[in-house]
Structure 1
Amino acid sequence: MKTALYLSGTAMLAAAAVIFAHATPVAAEGAANAMVRPDGSIVMTKENYARDWSVLGVFAHLDDAGVRQFNVVYTQPETVTAYQQTGEFPEGAVLIKELRDGVTKADGDDRTSSLGALKGWFAMIKPPKENGPQGPLWGDGWGWAKFNADAPNATITTNYEQDCLGCHMPVKATDWVHIEAYPMLRD
């Protein structure tokens, strides 16, 4: 005997919302857990973030010749959804800032800049509120790390307070994240 369960449209949406709400943090935590070693050190994600994650925004660092460096910032889609719903980054959220050379060239009467060689990454990981990793890479609600492109398993960050907070101090009020540069989070 076969049994079928039929739900009204409203009931299906409600059930999906409950399932999604409970699944979101678990999905987000997978990438974070894979990046954190038992000693609290951080390695670069092995996930194909450029293909599978959401682009939050792009920063361009300029000099007289054009764009010197592009920073392309990614996070998991479930992190975007959670932030849009709550205004907070969930446990397990990972922000990856990919650092790329800027390539500027003449383009008719104009100059254009495009993404060049990969130079490295910055990573921020939102740990659990209780019993999260400890050490000099962890504090102020995040794990912090920078990697060179040729050494993704060896962070060059030694102390987040000295190595990271200088650039993040202006955005302390937004959980240390440059929300102003990420339209999908601020709008």
Structure 2
Amino acid sequence: MLVFQGSFEEGEMKLLQGFCWIFTAALAMRVSAEPNLQQTFSTWVNANGELRLPTNLQRGWLHLGSSALMAADGTRIESIHSVYTQADAADYYRKHGKFADGTVLIKEIRFANMNDLVTGALASADAVDVWFMMVKDTRDRFKGKRDWGKSWGWALFGSNDPTTNVSAGYEQECLGCHVPAKRSDYVYTKLYPGLRPGP
């Protein structure tokens, strides 16, 4: 608690109150700008169950981890896959060992560049290819919709138009790759250090 000795002139007091108001407003704006579980079904999913891809993943969203996909011939890295979620979604998972309702998972796939550096061959991320998006729905709000099933919403967005879900449906587009991860709620959790407790 701040303690002031002496007395403030009226103008000084108003100035102090103004600074306090600005600080409080700025803090509130920062908190509200960060994605969270409560806003999922009002911001990233509409009433018809259509998913919308968030922008600026590197700002506000928590990076869970990245992995590199080798080309079929094993000679180079083909793409870099980075996964993001809300900070409170990761906190919930670390505490309970399961995904909370409203959890958003976004996998951003970027083409890879191979670089010959003094430390050796290094793969770096380049332009975005596609985004995959999953939304946890423990209440089965959109049962029967083609993009919803297994208690998740599923979507695919191309870099040429990030506003349009181009998935043909989760059973055709997504499920085949996720079935091996069925025991961990169709998510390859072992690939994401951000879901583990501790540093």
TM-score (norm 2): 0.74
User: What's the CA shift string for 1:137-158, capped at 9, x where partnerless?
Assistant: 0000100001001211211112
Tell me the amino acid that sits aligned with residue 35 of structure 1.
W
Equivalent residue in structure 2 for 1:116, among 126, 131, 143: 126
Alignment identity in percent?
32
The answer for the alignment partner of 2:59 in structure 1 is 51
User: What's the CA shift string for 1:92-145, capped at 9, x where partnerless?
Assistant: 100010110101022237211101011120000012415x12400000010000
Q: Does 1:83 align with 2:99?
A: no
The CA distance in 2 between the partners of 1:56 and 1:27, in whole Å, is 15
| Structural mapping, 1:27-176, within 5 Å | 27-46=36-55, 48-63=56-71, 64-108=74-118, 110-129=120-139, 132-134=141-143, 135-176=145-186
Is the contact made by 2:36 and 2:89 (CA closer than 8 Å) also made in structure 1?
A: no
Tell me the matched-pair count: 160
The CA distance in 2 between the partners of 1:121 and 1:146, in whole Å, is 6
Larger radius of gyration: 2
The CA distance in 1 between the partners of 2:54 and 2:118, in whole Å, is 40
Q: Does 1:179 align with 2:192?
A: no
Three-state SS of the structure 2 residue aligned to 1:167 is helix
Tell me the amino acid that sits aligned with residue 34 of structure 1.
T
User: What's the CA shift string for 1:28-62, capped at 9, x where partnerless?
Assistant: 1314431212222212124x321212111112111
